[in-house]
Amino acid sequence: MAEERTSHFDGLPGQKAEAQVHKNIGCTLIQAEREVVPMKILVVIPANDEEKVRLGSVMPDAEFVFAAPNDTSEELAKSADIIIGNIPPEYIRGSKNLKWLQLNSAGTDGYCDEGVVPEGAYLTNATGAYGLAISEHMLGMLLEIKKKLNLYYLNQIQHQWKDEGNVTSIEGITTLVVGLGDIGGDFARKMKALGSYTIGIKRTKGTKPDYIDELYTLDSLDKLLPKVDVVALTLPGTKDTYHLFNSERFKLMKKDAVILNVGRGTTICTEDLCDALEKGLIAGAGLDVTNPEPLPADHRLWDAPGTVITPHVSGFFHLPETLRRIVRISIDNLERFKKQEPLKNIVDFKTGYRA
């Protein structure tokens, strides 16, 4: 798929400037040639035709280039003033033009590394787009484990009419959500609605949301683990979250507890998780992320008891509404950029989190 270029929506790029020097957020004035050079905006998210028109109408003096991620190049990326969507981080390292990168992901892996995003440029993520899709995926994995639907599906494949015994319920259990952003918050809200007592962990305590019964910071994790039935992880991959869950923490959990992970696979030590499942230290794991990824076909995690694995698919654009939300976030931020107003979802380069 070749890149699609759209010039000005009102007027043509390169039009002659007026004699008086002026500033325009969508253009750069080259005084020597007295020409207006349009700002270039590279869009690599699959916006539909209506959304492309809406994006273009925000900054009609800009040159928009719409391209699939696989059709971009380092040269194209380095020529852009604004990029909307994820491209390989190495494509923008050393860019002299980039002023703002709007990611289509909530995670910022690779983009916060030193020297990737030019000094002075903004990095924003897509927080607010994924809560619906991923929280429902988490709920699906949890119900599959608690109702033994994974076992019944295997029986169905083998044409076996077999009772797998007792199951457990969500109502009346205690759920610990580690990471209360858009995704963790939506999941906690759903669990609360189904009758679970909810406990949340945030980096900074702040105000307790109404869907959370108790709120703590990460230093309370070890004292909470023996009390909860479900642990839901929605954390980014950082040095602070690396192997946050290891053999020592699995030993603190209830034997009938279930762990869910939709953040990054590195948050859990995979070998320690396999040991915990095989030894019966915990009852199950619902994983949309693993370490490594892709998970090798011969890895023992595939066969660990009580495990449900999906190949990092809970997010992305599998639910069409997620893409629509990402486009709306991008349009809103583009309007803010034009008006020189604060952007939403600005990322703190030190933590990888939204600031």
Active site members = 264, 293, 312
Rounded Cα distance between 174 and 4, Å, is 51
Rounded Cα distance between 343 and 116, Å, is 20
Per-position b or e across 258-271, b if 16+ CB within 10 A of its CB: bbbbbbbbbbbbbe
Strand partners, 283: none
Per-position b or e across 59-78, b if 16+ CB within 10 A of its CB: bebbbbbbbeeeebeeebbe
Amino acid found at 313: V
Q: Computed over its alpha carbons, how large is the radius of gyration of the chain?
A: 24
Q: In which residue are the tokens 């909860």 written?
A: 228
H-helix segments, 115-206: 131-146, 149-157, 182-193
Rounded Cα distance between 29 and 333, Å, is 23
Amino acid found at 325: R
Rounded Cα distance between 206 and 214, Å, is 12
Q: In which residue are the tokens 């993520």 written?
A: 125
